[in-house]
């Protein structure tokens, strides 16, 4: 039985929700706190600040959807719920990027993987990025709080066959692997998390913190795209947004928000974009720089038995065998996971055309896919990308470096070795020109000599981090270790843009925990 739709029942009970598309004239709203963005950071902050007795407005550029809109069809989910219909790419088109665009942000469409910030990342931030107060011991209470709030626990059911292959390969090779913690309650194990949970089991911001904030008196304004922060001296005094119609096109209505305090939580591309458009002070030219993606490689494998990777929890097993093997600032490490296997998603991320592609898709149910998420931002030859303004908004320029390509070659070899160990009949590194490889010996030699290059090698990402780093040294950070601006007394940032490097892990739980810490401190300051 589906869990009650909290959005429908909440709206019927009188929640304060304004769809900016319905406004016919410019309008101004005021509150104690205005939060830009409703994803992992914005949703968490909204609930904590509302519970503290503060009036809160949540501003979201995307639409408000609910489970009645989630029909498990890719053709509807991608244009309705993702930035650029899930077709976003870096400036040179070499990396595809998945980001949510709806109330709840990427938490509405992610695959529920919940991992605490790895200790080596926290240690690197403390030693090299002037971050204070974010040790494992100091963060543990905040992770525990958010794990309880969002029902995050180890997946207790058997992994689907796609994840089971990852586990079996690791067991055969003696590699590390871990059962993933997921933020679900009453999960039906359908495997369609990426299209919005149709039964409200996924504990995204859409069904947890946003409803709690609205129950507590917060106001949600959707389809209002923030363009600029108005500022003078050391204070922000307004947020300006453009109303969007149902096709996400601007309409001639400006919405202005005023508050005592402002929080940017628009994500690691849009938070820096708003800062650049607003011409915020940036004496060390940090805004938008060092934006990280966990650039991800894919390896396909054909099995005799059905994999049916579209069915069952999308991610339930990962391997950290290679993430930190060469030290934090050594050669780039990579995390091994699997993605859900849905027709459009896989067809758009695999190579070839005509007969070869048709053959691949004809064997769709026997296809297993392993992915390697490359940990970026620690090595001197891994500076990440840069968010830059364009005529139409912004772009992420992310050149792929020699260090990345060295990691990619190692990752392809690891994935092929693992897939053969799990029983694959043949393995296909997803890079143009590569044939099916029939055994590990053949694969080892072919991968050592394969040609890797932008646009030839398929690279994707669902994790955007950095661009507005935290730390105590203004020469390398825009906000302090609590996410408070170095330059404005009433501005905070609470999203993945504050990470000074990538994490080496899926980011949602890191954003929840660190935001809970920082928003609690902000609530104490604003109510004292």
Per-residue pLDDT tens for 308-350? 999 999 999 999 999 999 999 999 999 999 999 999 998 888 7
Query: What phi and psi values does residue 444 have, to the nearest 5 degrees?
Result: -60, -45
Query: Please, where in the chain does CATH 3.50.50.60 lie?
Result: 6-90+97-154+198-290+466-527
Query: Please, where in the chain does CATH 3.30.410 lie?
Result: 161-184+291-461
3-state secondary structure of 518: helix
Rounded Cα distance between 351 and 428, Å, is 10
Rounded Cα distance between 359 and 195, Å, is 26
The CA distances from residue 426 to 12, 37, 365, 370, 443, in Å, are 54, 44, 15, 13, 9
Structure tokens at 336: 């091994």
Q: What is the pLDDT of residue 2?
A: 56
Query: What phi and psi values does residue 100 have, to the nearest 5 degrees?
Result: -75, 155
Helix (H) or strand (E) holding 237: strand 235-244
Rounded Cα distance between 480 and 476, Å, is 10
Q: What is the pLDDT of residue 245?
A: 96
Structure tokens at 459: 């690279």
CATH number given to 6-90+97-154+198-290+466-527: 3.50.50.60
What's the per-residue H, E or C state across 191-214? CCHHHCCCCCCECCCCCCHHHHHH
Residue in the structure block whose two tokens are 């149910």: 365
Query: What phi and psi values does residue 506 have, to the nearest 5 degrees?
Result: -60, 135
Residue in the structure block whose two tokens are 């660190």: 514
Dihedral sign, CA of 470, 141, 189, 159?
Answer: positive
User: In Å, how far from its chain's centre is CA 415?
Assistant: 23
Alpha-carbon Rg for the chain, nearest whole angstrom, is 22
Q: What is the pLDDT of residue 28?
A: 98
Rounded Cα distance between 275 and 281, Å, is 9
Query: Which residues are paired to 261 by β-bridges?
Result: 33
Structure tokens at 217: 């008196």
Rounded Cα distance between 147 and 182, Å, is 9
The CA distances from residue 197 to 64, 81, 205, 283, 313, in Å, are 14, 12, 12, 43, 12
* pLDDT tens per residue across span 240-285: 999 999 999 999 999 999 999 999 999 999 999 999 999 999 999 9
For 279, residues 6+ apart whose C-beta sits below 8 A from its C-beta are none
Rounded Cα distance between 65 and 422, Å, is 40
The CA distances from residue 181 to 136, 172, 185, 299, in Å, are 18, 23, 12, 24
Query: What phi and psi values does residue 14 have, to the nearest 5 degrees?
Result: 105, 20
The CA distances from residue 478 to 33, 154, 492, in Å, are 20, 35, 10
Residue in the structure block whose two tokens are 């290059």: 453
Residuewise pLDDT in 10s, the chain (528 residues): 557 899 999 999 999 999 999 999 999 999 999 999 999 999 999 999 999 999 999 999 999 999 999 999 999 999 999 999 999 999 999 999 999 999 999 999 999 999 999 999 999 999 999 999 999 999 999 999 999 999 999 999 999 999 999 999 999 999 999 999 999 999 999 999 999 999 999 999 999 999 999 999 999 999 999 999 999 999 999 999 999 999 999 999 999 999 999 999 999 999 999 999 999 999 999 999 999 999 999 999 999 999 999 999 999 999 999 999 999 999 999 999 999 999 999 888 877 777 878 888 889 999 999 999 999 999 999 999 999 999 989 999 999 999 999 999 999 999 999 999 999 999 999 999 999 999 999 999 999 999 999 999 999 999 999 999 999 999 999 999 999 999 999 999 999 999 999 999 999 999 999 999 999 999 999 999
Dihedral sign, CA of 381, 386, 282, 102?
Answer: negative
Q: Which of 489, 493, 447, 488 is nearest to 470 (CA)?
A: 493
Rounded Cα distance between 528 and 521, Å, is 11
End-to-end CA distance of the chain: 45
Contact 158, 27 (CB under 8 A): no
Q: What is the pLDDT of residue 356?
A: 79
CATH topology for 161-184+291-461 is: Cholesterol Oxidase; domain 2 (3.30.410)
Instruction: Annotate 32-70 with DSSP letters as a single string.
Output: EEEEE--SHHHHHHHHHHHHTT--EEEE-SS----GGG-
Instruction: Compute the C-alpha angle 77/82/88, nearest 5°.
Output: 125
């Amino acid at each position: 039985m589906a869990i009650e739709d909290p959005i429908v029942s909440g709206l019927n009970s009188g929640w304060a929700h304004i769809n900016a598309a319905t406004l016919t004239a410019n309008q101004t709203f005021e509150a104690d706190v205005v939060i830009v963005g409703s994803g992992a950071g914005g949703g968490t902050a909204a609930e904590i600040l509302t519970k503290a007795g503060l009036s809160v407005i949540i501003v979201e550029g995307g639409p408000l959807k609910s489970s009645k809109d989630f029909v498990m069809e890719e053709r509807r989910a991608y244009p309705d719920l993702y930035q650029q219909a899930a077709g976003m790419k870096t400036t040179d088109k070499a990396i595809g990027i998945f980001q949510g665009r709806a109330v709840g942000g990427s938490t509405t469409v992610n695959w529920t993987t919940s991992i605490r910030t790895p200790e080596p990342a926290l240690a690197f931030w403390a030693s090299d990025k002037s971050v204070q107060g974010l040790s494992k011991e100091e963060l543990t209470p905040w992770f525990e709080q958010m794990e309880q709030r969002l029902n995050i626990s180890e997946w207790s059911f058997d992994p689907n066959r796609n994840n089971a292959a990852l586990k079996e390969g690791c067991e055969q090779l003696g590699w590390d692997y871990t059962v993933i913690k997921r933020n679900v309650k009453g999960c039906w194990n359908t495997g369609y998390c990426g299209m919005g949970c149709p039964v409200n089991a996924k504990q995204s911001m859409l069904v947890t913190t946003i409803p709690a904030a609205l129950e507590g008196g917060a106001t949600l304004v959707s389809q209002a795209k923030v363009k600029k922060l108005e500022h003078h001296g050391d204070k922000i005094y307004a947020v300006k947004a453009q109303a969007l119609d149902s096709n996400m096109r601007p309409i001639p209505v400006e919405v202005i928000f005023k508050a005592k305090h402002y929080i940017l939580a628009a994500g690691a591309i849009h938070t820096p974009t708003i800062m650049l458009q607003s011409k915020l002070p940036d004496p060390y030219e940090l805004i938008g720089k060092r934006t990280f993606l966990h650039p991800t490689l894919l390896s396909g494998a054909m099995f005799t038995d059905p994999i049916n990777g579209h069915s069952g929890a999308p991610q339930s097993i990962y391997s950290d065998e290679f993430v930190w093997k060469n030290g934090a600032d050594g050669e780039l490490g990579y995390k091994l996971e699997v993605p859900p296997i849905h027709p459009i998603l896989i067809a758009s991320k695999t190579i070839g055309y005509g007969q070869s592609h048709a053959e691949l898709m004809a064997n769709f149910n026997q296809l297993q896919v392993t992915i390697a998420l490359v940990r970026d931002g620690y090595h001197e030859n891994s500076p990440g990308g840069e968010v830059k303004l364009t005529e139409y908004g912004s772009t992420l320029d992310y050149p792929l470096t020699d260090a990345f390509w060295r990691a990619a070659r190692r990752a392809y070899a690891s994935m092929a070795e693992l897939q053969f160990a799990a029983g694959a009949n043949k393995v296909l590194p997803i890079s143009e020109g590569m044939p099916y490889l029939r055994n590990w010996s053949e694969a080892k030699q072919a991968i050592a000599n394969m040609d890797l290059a932008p646009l030839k090698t398929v690279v994707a990402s669902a994790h955007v981090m950095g661009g507005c780093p935290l730390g105590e040294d203004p020469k390398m950070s825009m906000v302090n270790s609590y996410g408070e601006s170095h330059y404005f007394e009433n501005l905070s940032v609470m999203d993945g843009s504050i990470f000074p490097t990538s994490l080496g892990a899926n980011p949602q739980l890191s954003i929840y925990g660190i935001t809970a810490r920082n928003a609690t401190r902000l609530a104490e300051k604003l109510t004292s």
